Chains A and B, each alone.
Chain A
Amino acid sequence: MNQNRVFDADGLKRTVNRLAHEIVEKNKGVQDLALVGIRSRGEPLANRIADKLQEIEGVRVPVGILDITLYRDDLHGRLDQPELKSTEILFDIKGKTVVLVDDVLFTGRTVRSALNALMDIGRPARIQLLVLVDRGHRELPIKADMVGKNIPTSHNQKVRVLMTEIDGEDGIELVDEPDGKE
Protein backbone atom coordinates (compact mmCIF):
# COMPACT_ATOMS: atom_id res chain seq x y z
CA MET A 1 0.00 0.00 0.00
CA ASN A 2 1.40 3.33 -1.11
CA GLN A 3 0.54 6.56 0.65
CA ASN A 4 0.63 10.06 -0.68
CA ARG A 5 -0.14 13.03 1.52
CA VAL A 6 -2.16 15.64 -0.37
CA PHE A 7 -2.83 17.97 2.55
CA ASP A 8 -1.41 18.39 6.01
CA ALA A 9 -3.29 19.88 8.99
CA ASP A 10 -2.64 23.48 7.91
CA GLY A 11 -3.80 22.85 4.37
CA LEU A 12 -6.99 21.25 5.67
CA LYS A 13 -7.64 24.20 7.97
CA ARG A 14 -7.18 26.75 5.20
CA THR A 15 -9.56 24.83 2.96
CA VAL A 16 -12.23 24.62 5.67
CA ASN A 17 -11.90 28.38 6.24
CA ARG A 18 -12.26 29.09 2.55
CA LEU A 19 -15.34 26.86 2.31
CA ALA A 20 -16.97 28.76 5.20
CA HIS A 21 -16.36 32.03 3.35
CA GLU A 22 -17.84 30.53 0.19
CA ILE A 23 -21.01 29.61 2.08
CA VAL A 24 -21.38 33.19 3.34
CA GLU A 25 -20.73 34.63 -0.09
CA LYS A 26 -23.05 32.27 -1.93
CA ASN A 27 -25.92 32.76 0.54
CA LYS A 28 -25.26 36.45 1.31
CA GLY A 29 -24.91 35.68 5.02
CA VAL A 30 -26.08 32.81 7.16
CA GLN A 31 -29.75 33.65 7.67
CA ASP A 32 -31.98 30.54 7.62
CA LEU A 33 -28.90 28.43 7.05
CA ALA A 34 -28.27 25.00 8.58
CA LEU A 35 -25.44 22.51 8.19
CA VAL A 36 -26.03 18.78 8.04
CA GLY A 37 -22.98 16.51 8.16
CA ILE A 38 -23.15 12.99 6.75
CA ARG A 39 -21.77 10.40 9.17
CA SER A 40 -19.05 9.87 9.96
CA ARG A 41 -16.51 12.50 8.83
CA GLY A 42 -19.14 14.95 7.62
CA GLU A 43 -19.96 15.50 11.29
CA PRO A 44 -16.65 17.01 12.51
CA LEU A 45 -16.34 18.83 9.18
CA ALA A 46 -19.76 20.47 9.62
CA ASN A 47 -18.87 21.43 13.20
CA ARG A 48 -15.62 23.09 12.11
CA ILE A 49 -17.39 25.01 9.36
CA ALA A 50 -20.01 26.15 11.89
CA ASP A 51 -17.23 27.38 14.20
CA LYS A 52 -15.71 29.37 11.35
CA LEU A 53 -19.09 30.78 10.30
CA GLN A 54 -19.58 31.98 13.86
CA GLU A 55 -16.23 33.73 13.69
CA ILE A 56 -17.13 35.43 10.41
CA GLU A 57 -20.79 36.27 10.98
CA GLY A 58 -21.15 36.14 14.76
CA VAL A 59 -24.06 33.69 14.52
CA ARG A 60 -24.14 30.01 15.43
CA VAL A 61 -25.91 28.10 12.66
CA PRO A 62 -27.63 24.84 13.67
CA VAL A 63 -25.68 21.65 12.89
CA GLY A 64 -27.26 18.23 12.40
CA ILE A 65 -25.89 14.76 11.75
CA LEU A 66 -27.36 12.48 9.12
CA ASP A 67 -26.98 8.69 9.08
CA ILE A 68 -27.80 7.41 5.61
CA THR A 69 -27.60 3.66 6.35
CA LEU A 70 -31.35 3.07 5.96
CA TYR A 71 -31.29 4.77 2.53
CA ARG A 72 -28.31 2.97 1.01
CA ASP A 73 -28.89 1.27 -2.33
CA ASP A 74 -26.57 -1.60 -1.33
CA LEU A 75 -28.16 -2.37 2.03
CA HIS A 76 -29.23 -5.89 1.15
CA GLY A 77 -26.93 -8.82 0.82
CA ARG A 78 -23.73 -7.25 2.12
CA LEU A 79 -21.40 -9.48 4.09
CA ASP A 80 -20.45 -6.61 6.36
CA GLN A 81 -23.83 -5.29 7.53
CA PRO A 82 -23.35 -1.54 8.02
CA GLU A 83 -23.89 -0.35 11.57
CA LEU A 84 -26.97 1.81 11.97
CA LYS A 85 -26.32 5.03 13.88
CA SER A 86 -28.70 7.79 14.87
CA THR A 87 -29.69 10.76 12.79
CA GLU A 88 -29.56 13.82 15.03
CA ILE A 89 -31.23 16.81 13.44
CA LEU A 90 -32.73 18.65 16.39
CA PHE A 91 -34.14 21.58 14.44
CA ASP A 92 -36.85 22.00 11.81
CA ILE A 93 -35.30 21.97 8.33
CA LYS A 94 -38.51 23.27 6.75
CA GLY A 95 -37.82 26.48 4.85
CA LYS A 96 -34.10 26.39 5.64
CA THR A 97 -31.13 26.40 3.30
CA VAL A 98 -29.47 23.13 4.21
CA VAL A 99 -25.79 22.77 3.38
CA LEU A 100 -25.10 19.04 3.16
CA VAL A 101 -21.52 18.36 4.23
CA ASP A 102 -19.41 15.31 3.37
CA ASP A 103 -15.70 14.56 3.19
CA VAL A 104 -15.33 12.89 -0.20
CA LEU A 105 -17.58 13.00 -3.28
CA PHE A 106 -17.07 9.86 -5.38
CA THR A 107 -19.90 7.91 -7.08
CA GLY A 108 -22.62 10.25 -5.79
CA ARG A 109 -24.57 7.36 -4.27
CA THR A 110 -24.09 8.57 -0.70
CA VAL A 111 -25.40 12.00 -1.67
CA ARG A 112 -28.42 10.45 -3.40
CA SER A 113 -29.17 8.55 -0.17
CA ALA A 114 -28.68 11.68 1.91
CA LEU A 115 -31.06 13.72 -0.29
CA ASN A 116 -33.79 11.10 0.12
CA ALA A 117 -33.16 10.89 3.88
CA LEU A 118 -33.41 14.68 4.22
CA MET A 119 -36.62 14.87 2.20
CA ASP A 120 -38.21 12.32 4.55
CA ILE A 121 -37.37 14.53 7.51
CA GLY A 122 -38.77 17.77 6.11
CA ARG A 123 -38.94 20.20 3.22
CA PRO A 124 -35.96 22.52 3.12
CA ALA A 125 -36.10 25.65 0.94
CA ARG A 126 -32.97 24.42 -0.84
CA ILE A 127 -30.12 21.99 -0.39
CA GLN A 128 -26.53 22.79 -1.29
CA LEU A 129 -23.74 20.23 -1.39
CA LEU A 130 -20.35 20.95 0.14
CA VAL A 131 -17.51 18.45 -0.04
CA LEU A 132 -13.91 18.62 1.08
CA VAL A 133 -12.66 16.50 -1.82
CA ASP A 134 -14.15 15.73 -5.22
CA ARG A 135 -12.36 12.69 -6.59
CA GLY A 136 -14.45 12.17 -9.74
CA HIS A 137 -15.95 8.88 -11.08
CA ARG A 138 -19.59 9.88 -10.67
CA GLU A 139 -22.22 7.19 -11.29
CA LEU A 140 -25.18 9.52 -10.78
CA PRO A 141 -25.90 13.05 -12.08
CA ILE A 142 -24.77 14.81 -8.91
CA LYS A 143 -22.55 17.86 -8.61
CA ALA A 144 -21.19 19.70 -5.60
CA ASP A 145 -21.89 23.44 -5.06
CA MET A 146 -18.76 23.98 -3.01
CA VAL A 147 -15.59 21.90 -3.33
CA GLY A 148 -12.51 22.08 -1.11
CA LYS A 149 -10.18 20.43 -3.55
CA ASN A 150 -10.52 18.47 -6.78
CA ILE A 151 -8.24 15.44 -6.66
CA PRO A 152 -8.07 13.42 -9.88
CA THR A 153 -7.88 9.73 -8.94
CA SER A 154 -7.92 6.32 -10.55
CA HIS A 155 -10.37 3.61 -9.47
CA ASN A 156 -7.76 1.70 -7.52
CA GLN A 157 -6.94 4.66 -5.35
CA LYS A 158 -8.69 5.77 -2.21
CA VAL A 159 -8.94 9.24 -0.72
CA ARG A 160 -8.62 9.17 3.05
CA VAL A 161 -9.67 12.26 4.94
CA LEU A 162 -8.27 12.29 8.47
CA MET A 163 -9.94 14.37 11.14
CA THR A 164 -8.60 14.72 14.67
CA GLU A 165 -12.01 14.08 16.23
CA ILE A 166 -12.08 10.59 14.67
CA ASP A 167 -8.56 9.75 13.48
CA GLY A 168 -6.38 11.62 15.98
CA GLU A 169 -4.83 13.86 13.31
CA ASP A 170 -5.78 16.12 10.39
CA GLY A 171 -4.86 15.57 6.76
CA ILE A 172 -5.82 14.13 3.40
CA GLU A 173 -4.05 11.13 1.89
CA LEU A 174 -4.21 9.39 -1.45
CA VAL A 175 -3.82 5.65 -0.94
CA ASP A 176 -3.12 3.07 -3.66
CA GLU A 177 -5.07 -0.12 -3.24
CA PRO A 178 -4.00 -2.81 -5.71
CA ASP A 179 -7.32 -4.67 -5.61
CA GLY A 180 -9.12 -1.43 -6.42
CA LYS A 181 -11.97 -1.94 -3.96
CA GLU A 182 -13.12 0.93 -1.89
Chain B
Amino acid sequence: MALQSRHLLGLEGVSAEDITLILDTARSFREVLDRPIKKVPPLQGKTIVNLFFESSTRTRISFELAERRLSADVVNFAASGSSVSKGETLKDTARNIEAMRIDMVVIRHASSGAPHFLSRVVKANVINAGDGQHEHPTQALLDMMTLREKYGALKGLRVCIVGDILHSRVARSNIYGLKTMGAEVSVCGPATLIPRHMEELGVRVYHRLEDIIPRVDVLNVLRIQLERQKSGLFPSLREYHRYFGVTKERVEKAPQPITIMHPGPINRDVELSADLADGEHSVILEQVTNGVAIRMAILYLLGTAQSSERS
Protein backbone atom coordinates (compact mmCIF):
# COMPACT_ATOMS: atom_id res chain seq x y z
CA MET B 1 0.00 0.00 0.00
CA ALA B 2 1.28 3.43 -0.92
CA LEU B 3 -0.29 6.87 -1.32
CA GLN B 4 -1.35 7.86 -4.82
CA SER B 5 0.44 11.21 -4.77
CA ARG B 6 4.04 11.95 -3.85
CA HIS B 7 2.99 15.25 -2.25
CA LEU B 8 0.37 16.24 0.27
CA LEU B 9 -0.97 19.52 -1.10
CA GLY B 10 -4.55 19.30 0.10
CA LEU B 11 -7.39 16.90 0.79
CA GLU B 12 -9.49 17.89 -2.21
CA GLY B 13 -9.57 14.84 -4.45
CA VAL B 14 -7.70 12.55 -2.02
CA SER B 15 -9.41 9.16 -1.95
CA ALA B 16 -11.01 7.49 1.07
CA GLU B 17 -8.41 4.68 0.73
CA ASP B 18 -5.52 7.15 1.03
CA ILE B 19 -7.09 8.94 3.99
CA THR B 20 -7.69 5.58 5.69
CA LEU B 21 -4.08 4.54 5.06
CA ILE B 22 -2.82 7.77 6.65
CA LEU B 23 -5.13 7.38 9.67
CA ASP B 24 -4.19 3.72 10.15
CA THR B 25 -0.48 4.49 9.90
CA ALA B 26 -0.85 7.38 12.35
CA ARG B 27 -2.48 5.04 14.85
CA SER B 28 0.64 2.86 14.78
CA PHE B 29 2.79 5.94 15.40
CA ARG B 30 0.68 6.88 18.42
CA GLU B 31 2.19 3.86 20.14
CA VAL B 32 5.72 5.16 19.43
CA LEU B 33 4.78 8.46 21.13
CA ASP B 34 3.88 6.61 24.32
CA ARG B 35 7.28 4.92 24.59
CA PRO B 36 10.04 6.11 26.92
CA ILE B 37 12.30 6.48 23.84
CA LYS B 38 10.13 8.19 21.25
CA LYS B 39 12.33 7.68 18.24
CA VAL B 40 12.30 5.27 15.31
CA PRO B 41 14.69 5.05 12.34
CA PRO B 42 12.72 5.02 9.04
CA LEU B 43 13.81 8.45 7.71
CA GLN B 44 17.47 8.12 8.68
CA GLY B 45 19.56 9.98 6.12
CA LYS B 46 16.65 12.05 4.78
CA THR B 47 16.79 15.82 5.06
CA ILE B 48 13.63 17.84 5.58
CA VAL B 49 13.34 21.62 5.43
CA ASN B 50 10.53 23.43 7.21
CA LEU B 51 9.80 26.53 5.15
CA PHE B 52 7.59 28.78 7.23
CA PHE B 53 6.78 32.00 5.41
CA GLU B 54 4.03 32.70 7.92
CA SER B 55 4.46 32.59 11.67
CA SER B 56 3.31 29.45 13.42
CA THR B 57 4.25 27.89 16.70
CA ARG B 58 2.13 24.81 17.09
CA THR B 59 2.26 23.46 13.54
CA ARG B 60 5.98 24.06 13.18
CA ILE B 61 6.83 22.40 16.49
CA SER B 62 4.52 19.50 15.67
CA PHE B 63 6.19 18.94 12.28
CA GLU B 64 9.65 19.29 13.75
CA LEU B 65 8.92 16.74 16.48
CA ALA B 66 7.47 14.34 13.92
CA GLU B 67 10.53 14.71 11.69
CA ARG B 68 13.00 14.19 14.51
CA ARG B 69 11.10 11.21 15.88
CA LEU B 70 11.48 9.56 12.48
CA SER B 71 15.27 10.24 12.64
CA ALA B 72 15.30 12.74 9.76
CA ASP B 73 17.73 15.66 9.62
CA VAL B 74 15.80 18.90 10.01
CA VAL B 75 16.49 22.41 8.78
CA ASN B 76 14.24 25.30 9.79
CA PHE B 77 13.65 28.35 7.71
CA ALA B 78 11.58 31.30 8.88
CA ALA B 79 10.76 34.11 6.48
CA SER B 80 11.63 36.96 8.81
CA GLY B 81 15.32 37.74 8.84
CA SER B 82 15.95 35.49 5.85
CA SER B 83 16.65 35.94 2.19
CA VAL B 84 12.91 36.44 1.62
CA SER B 85 13.02 39.73 3.47
CA LYS B 86 15.80 40.66 1.03
CA GLY B 87 13.43 40.21 -1.88
CA GLU B 88 14.11 36.65 -3.01
CA THR B 89 11.26 34.99 -4.90
CA LEU B 90 9.70 31.71 -3.82
CA LYS B 91 11.08 30.06 -6.92
CA ASP B 92 14.63 31.14 -6.18
CA THR B 93 14.31 30.08 -2.56
CA ALA B 94 13.07 26.70 -3.74
CA ARG B 95 15.84 26.28 -6.30
CA ASN B 96 18.46 27.05 -3.70
CA ILE B 97 17.00 24.55 -1.32
CA GLU B 98 16.95 21.98 -4.08
CA ALA B 99 20.60 22.63 -4.76
CA MET B 100 21.31 21.63 -1.17
CA ARG B 101 19.84 18.16 -1.80
CA ILE B 102 16.78 18.33 0.41
CA ASP B 103 14.44 15.31 0.29
CA MET B 104 11.23 16.80 1.64
CA VAL B 105 9.81 20.28 2.07
CA VAL B 106 7.15 21.32 4.56
CA ILE B 107 5.75 24.71 3.57
CA ARG B 108 3.47 27.24 5.20
CA HIS B 109 2.70 30.29 3.11
CA ALA B 110 0.22 33.18 3.17
CA SER B 111 -0.57 32.69 -0.52
CA SER B 112 -3.00 29.99 -1.58
CA GLY B 113 -1.35 27.59 -4.01
CA ALA B 114 2.26 28.20 -2.92
CA PRO B 115 2.83 24.49 -2.12
CA HIS B 116 1.41 23.50 -5.53
CA PHE B 117 3.78 25.90 -7.22
CA LEU B 118 6.67 24.51 -5.21
CA SER B 119 5.79 20.92 -6.11
CA ARG B 120 6.18 21.83 -9.79
CA VAL B 121 9.63 23.40 -9.44
CA VAL B 122 11.42 21.06 -7.00
CA LYS B 123 12.01 17.31 -6.99
CA ALA B 124 11.46 16.93 -3.24
CA ASN B 125 8.18 15.75 -1.71
CA VAL B 126 6.10 18.77 -0.74
CA ILE B 127 3.80 18.88 2.29
CA ASN B 128 1.35 21.72 2.73
CA ALA B 129 1.39 23.04 6.31
CA GLY B 130 -1.24 25.68 5.49
CA ASP B 131 -1.53 27.87 2.40
CA GLY B 132 -3.46 31.15 2.57
CA GLN B 133 -7.18 30.55 2.77
CA HIS B 134 -6.93 27.34 0.79
CA GLU B 135 -6.05 24.15 2.69
CA HIS B 136 -4.39 22.85 5.85
CA PRO B 137 -4.54 19.10 5.22
CA THR B 138 -2.56 17.86 8.24
CA GLN B 139 -4.89 19.75 10.61
CA ALA B 140 -7.96 18.15 9.01
CA LEU B 141 -6.32 14.71 9.14
CA LEU B 142 -5.52 15.05 12.83
CA ASP B 143 -9.10 16.21 13.44
CA MET B 144 -10.39 13.14 11.59
CA MET B 145 -8.00 10.88 13.48
CA THR B 146 -9.21 12.28 16.81
CA LEU B 147 -12.84 11.69 15.83
CA ARG B 148 -12.18 8.22 14.47
CA GLU B 149 -10.39 7.21 17.67
CA LYS B 150 -13.34 8.49 19.69
CA TYR B 151 -16.24 7.22 17.60
CA GLY B 152 -14.66 4.26 15.77
CA ALA B 153 -15.71 5.52 12.32
CA LEU B 154 -16.38 8.77 10.51
CA LYS B 155 -19.25 7.62 8.34
CA GLY B 156 -22.52 9.23 9.37
CA LEU B 157 -20.86 11.34 12.08
CA ARG B 158 -22.49 14.78 12.32
CA VAL B 159 -19.85 17.50 12.44
CA CYS B 160 -20.48 21.25 12.45
CA ILE B 161 -17.66 23.72 11.85
CA VAL B 162 -18.37 27.00 13.63
CA GLY B 163 -16.93 30.42 12.93
CA ASP B 164 -15.10 32.19 10.15
CA ILE B 165 -15.51 29.68 7.34
CA LEU B 166 -14.68 32.22 4.65
CA HIS B 167 -11.03 32.68 5.59
CA SER B 168 -10.43 29.23 7.04
CA ARG B 169 -8.14 26.68 5.42
CA VAL B 170 -8.88 24.38 8.35
CA ALA B 171 -12.59 24.44 7.45
CA ARG B 172 -11.93 23.76 3.78
CA SER B 173 -9.65 20.76 4.39
CA ASN B 174 -12.03 19.37 7.00
CA ILE B 175 -14.97 19.65 4.61
CA TYR B 176 -13.15 17.81 1.80
CA GLY B 177 -11.81 15.09 4.08
CA LEU B 178 -14.93 14.51 6.16
CA LYS B 179 -17.21 14.43 3.10
CA THR B 180 -14.93 11.86 1.44
CA MET B 181 -15.12 9.71 4.56
CA GLY B 182 -18.92 9.88 4.63
CA ALA B 183 -19.50 12.27 7.52
CA GLU B 184 -22.40 14.75 7.57
CA VAL B 185 -20.84 18.20 7.55
CA SER B 186 -22.45 21.55 8.31
CA VAL B 187 -21.08 25.03 8.93
CA CYS B 188 -22.38 27.79 11.19
CA GLY B 189 -21.35 31.44 11.33
CA PRO B 190 -22.33 34.97 10.45
CA ALA B 191 -23.44 35.41 6.83
CA THR B 192 -20.48 37.70 6.18
CA LEU B 193 -18.03 34.91 7.10
CA ILE B 194 -19.54 32.06 5.09
CA PRO B 195 -18.57 31.77 1.42
CA ARG B 196 -21.28 31.50 -1.20
CA HIS B 197 -22.07 28.20 -2.87
CA MET B 198 -21.19 26.25 0.28
CA GLU B 199 -24.14 23.93 -0.41
CA GLU B 200 -22.49 22.79 -3.63
CA LEU B 201 -19.87 21.03 -1.52
CA GLY B 202 -22.69 19.09 0.11
CA VAL B 203 -22.49 21.15 3.30
CA ARG B 204 -25.50 22.57 5.15
CA VAL B 205 -25.30 26.18 6.24
CA TYR B 206 -26.65 27.55 9.52
CA HIS B 207 -26.60 31.05 10.91
CA ARG B 208 -27.86 30.29 14.39
CA LEU B 209 -26.10 27.94 16.82
CA GLU B 210 -29.47 27.07 18.38
CA ASP B 211 -30.56 25.50 15.08
CA ILE B 212 -27.58 23.19 14.71
CA ILE B 213 -26.62 22.23 18.27
CA PRO B 214 -29.47 19.69 18.73
CA ARG B 215 -28.40 17.90 15.53
CA VAL B 216 -24.65 17.34 15.87
CA ASP B 217 -22.17 15.02 17.53
CA VAL B 218 -19.20 17.35 17.14
CA LEU B 219 -18.58 21.09 17.11
CA ASN B 220 -15.27 22.09 15.57
CA VAL B 221 -14.88 25.68 16.74
CA LEU B 222 -12.58 27.86 14.66
CA ARG B 223 -10.42 30.66 15.98
CA ILE B 224 -11.89 34.05 15.24
CA GLN B 225 -9.08 36.16 13.85
CA LEU B 226 -9.05 39.46 15.63
CA GLU B 227 -7.91 41.35 12.56
CA ARG B 228 -11.15 40.47 10.73
CA GLN B 229 -13.00 42.83 12.99
CA LYS B 230 -11.19 45.76 11.41
CA SER B 231 -12.42 44.72 7.99
CA GLY B 232 -15.98 45.13 9.20
CA LEU B 233 -17.05 41.50 8.77
CA PHE B 234 -18.46 41.45 12.29
CA PRO B 235 -19.09 44.38 14.62
CA SER B 236 -17.27 43.40 17.82
CA LEU B 237 -15.83 40.42 19.68
CA ARG B 238 -18.51 40.89 22.31
CA GLU B 239 -21.25 40.66 19.75
CA TYR B 240 -19.60 37.69 18.07
CA HIS B 241 -19.43 35.91 21.38
CA ARG B 242 -23.08 36.67 22.06
CA TYR B 243 -24.30 35.12 18.83
CA PHE B 244 -21.67 32.55 17.87
CA GLY B 245 -19.76 31.87 21.06
CA VAL B 246 -19.94 28.16 21.90
CA THR B 247 -20.81 28.09 25.60
CA LYS B 248 -21.73 25.47 28.15
CA GLU B 249 -25.19 26.94 28.47
CA ARG B 250 -25.86 26.53 24.74
CA VAL B 251 -24.34 23.08 24.38
CA GLU B 252 -26.14 21.70 27.43
CA LYS B 253 -29.51 22.37 25.83
CA ALA B 254 -28.82 19.45 23.50
CA PRO B 255 -29.93 16.02 24.74
CA GLN B 256 -26.81 14.33 23.25
CA PRO B 257 -23.22 14.86 24.44
CA ILE B 258 -21.27 17.09 22.02
CA THR B 259 -17.56 16.70 21.42
CA ILE B 260 -15.68 20.01 21.37
CA MET B 261 -12.73 20.55 19.01
CA HIS B 262 -10.58 23.60 18.33
CA PRO B 263 -7.50 23.89 16.10
CA GLY B 264 -5.92 26.44 18.48
CA PRO B 265 -4.82 28.87 19.59
CA ILE B 266 -8.05 29.56 21.50
CA ASN B 267 -9.46 33.00 22.24
CA ARG B 268 -10.96 31.92 25.52
CA ASP B 269 -14.49 33.18 26.08
CA VAL B 270 -14.68 34.62 22.58
CA GLU B 271 -15.42 31.74 20.18
CA LEU B 272 -15.34 29.10 22.92
CA SER B 273 -16.00 29.34 26.64
CA ALA B 274 -13.16 28.34 28.94
CA ASP B 275 -15.23 25.77 30.84
CA LEU B 276 -16.03 23.90 27.61
CA ALA B 277 -12.44 24.06 26.37
CA ASP B 278 -11.31 22.37 29.59
CA GLY B 279 -14.44 20.25 30.00
CA GLU B 280 -14.99 16.51 29.80
CA HIS B 281 -16.16 16.57 26.17
CA SER B 282 -13.20 18.58 24.93
CA VAL B 283 -10.66 16.66 22.81
CA ILE B 284 -8.48 19.70 22.15
CA LEU B 285 -5.29 18.33 23.73
CA GLU B 286 -5.92 14.95 22.13
CA GLN B 287 -5.89 16.80 18.79
CA VAL B 288 -2.44 18.18 19.58
CA THR B 289 -1.01 14.74 20.44
CA ASN B 290 -2.56 13.18 17.35
CA GLY B 291 -1.07 15.99 15.26
CA VAL B 292 2.43 14.63 15.81
CA ALA B 293 1.31 11.07 14.91
CA ILE B 294 -0.47 12.26 11.74
CA ARG B 295 2.57 14.21 10.60
CA MET B 296 4.82 11.21 11.29
CA ALA B 297 2.47 9.07 9.19
CA ILE B 298 2.54 11.46 6.23
CA LEU B 299 6.30 11.99 6.35
CA TYR B 300 6.82 8.24 6.63
CA LEU B 301 4.44 7.32 3.80
CA LEU B 302 5.83 9.96 1.42
CA GLY B 303 9.44 9.62 2.52
CA THR B 304 9.73 5.85 2.09
CA ALA B 305 7.61 5.47 -1.06
CA GLN B 306 9.38 4.36 -4.18
CA SER B 307 8.75 7.56 -6.11
CA SER B 308 10.62 9.63 -3.56
CA GLU B 309 13.94 8.06 -4.52
CA ARG B 310 16.13 10.43 -6.42
CA SER B 311 17.41 9.23 -9.71
| Residues of A in contact with B (beta carbons under 8 Å apart) | 67, 69-71, 75-81, 83-88, 116, 120-122
Known A120-B39, A120-B40, A121-B37; contact A85-B306, beta-carbon cutoff 8 A? no
Binary CB contact string for chain B from 17 to 53 against chain A (1 if under 8 A, 0 otherwise)? 0000000110111011001110111100000000000
Main secondary structure on A side of the interface with B: loop
> Is B88 among interface residues, defined by CB-CB distance under 8 A?
no
CB interface residues, B 121-138, toward A, < 8 Å: none
Q: Which residues of A contact B24 (CB under 8 A)?
A: 83-84
Q: Which residues of B contact A86 (CB under 8 A)?
A: 27-28, 31
> Is B304 among interface residues, defined by CB-CB distance under 8 A?
yes
Residue of A nearest to B30 (CB): A86
Q: B31 contacts A77, CB within 8 Å?
A: no
| Residues of B in contact with A (beta carbons under 8 Å apart) | 1-2, 24-25, 27-29, 31-32, 35-37, 39-42, 300-301, 304-306, 308-309
Q: Which residues of B contact A70 (CB under 8 A)?
A: 40-42, 300
Q: A84 contacts B37, CB within 8 Å?
A: no
Residue of B nearest to A81 (CB): B2
Residue of A nearest to B26 (CB): A84
Q: How far is the CA of A133 from the CA of B289 in the complex (A)?
A: 41
Known A75-B42, A77-B306; contact A85-B28, beta-carbon cutoff 8 A? yes
Closest Cβ of chain B: how far from A128's Cβ, in Å? Answer: 23
Closest Cβ of chain B: how far from A71's Cβ, in Å? Answer: 6
Q: A121 contacts B35, CB within 8 Å?
A: yes
Closest Cβ of chain A: how far from B71's Cβ, in Å? Answer: 9
Q: How far is the CA of A69 from the CA of B1 in the complex (A)?
A: 13
Q: A84 contacts B39, CB within 8 Å?
A: no
Closest Cβ of chain B: how far from A133's Cβ, in Å? Answer: 27
A-B contact count (CB 8 A): 50
**When the two chains form the complex, which single residue of B25, B27, B309 contacts A77, counting CB atoms closer than 8 Å?**
B309
Q: A84 contacts B300, CB within 8 Å?
A: yes
Q: B37 contacts A81, CB within 8 Å?
A: no
Residue of A nearest to B42 (CB): A70
Q: Which residues of B contact A69 (CB under 8 A)?
A: 42
Q: Which residues of A contact B1 (CB under 8 A)?
A: 80-81, 83
Q: Which residues of B contact A121 (CB under 8 A)?
A: 35, 37
Q: Which residues of A contact B40 (CB under 8 A)?
A: 70-71, 120
Q: How far is the CA of A77 from the CA of B41 in the complex (A)?
A: 15
Q: B42 contacts A67, CB within 8 Å?
A: no
Interface centre among A84, A116, A121 (most CB of B within 10 A): A84
28 contacts between A and B (CB under 8 A): A67-B28, A69-B42, A70-B40, A70-B41, A70-B42, A70-B300, A71-B40, A71-B42, A76-B308, A77-B309, A78-B304, A80-B2, A81-B1, A81-B2, A81-B301, A81-B306, A83-B1, A84-B24, A84-B25, A84-B28, A84-B29, A84-B300, A86-B31, A88-B31, A120-B35, A120-B37, A121-B37, A122-B36
Taking A84-B29, A120-B39, A121-B35 as known contacts, 15 extra A-B pairs with beta carbons closer than 8 A to each other, sorted by chain A number, are A70-B40, A70-B41, A70-B300, A75-B304, A76-B304, A81-B1, A81-B305, A83-B24, A84-B300, A85-B28, A86-B28, A88-B31, A116-B41, A120-B35, A122-B36
Q: How far is the CA of A67 from the CA of B28 in the complex (A)?
A: 9
Q: Which residues of B contact A79 (CB under 8 A)?
A: 306
Q: How far is the CA of A83 from the CA of B297 in the complex (A)?
A: 11
Q: How far is the CA of A81 from the CA of B36 in the complex (A)?
A: 28
Q: How far is the CA of A122 from the CA of B35 in the complex (A)?
A: 9
Known A81-B1, A85-B28; contact A71-B306, beta-carbon cutoff 8 A? no
Q: How far is the CA of A70 from the CA of B1 in the complex (A)?
A: 15
Q: How far is the CA of A174 from the CA of B36 in the complex (A)?
A: 41
Q: How far is the CA of A81 from the CA of B308 in the complex (A)?
A: 12
Shortest Cβ-Cβ A-B pairs, 9 listed? A81-B2, A70-B40, A86-B28, A77-B309, A70-B42, A84-B28, A86-B31, A84-B25, A75-B304
Q: How far is the CA of A87 from the CA of B24 in the complex (A)?
A: 13
Closest Cβ of chain A: how far from B260's Cβ, in Å? Answer: 28
Q: How far is the CA of A85 from the CA of B1 in the complex (A)?
A: 12
Closest Cβ of chain A: how far from B150's Cβ, in Å? Answer: 18
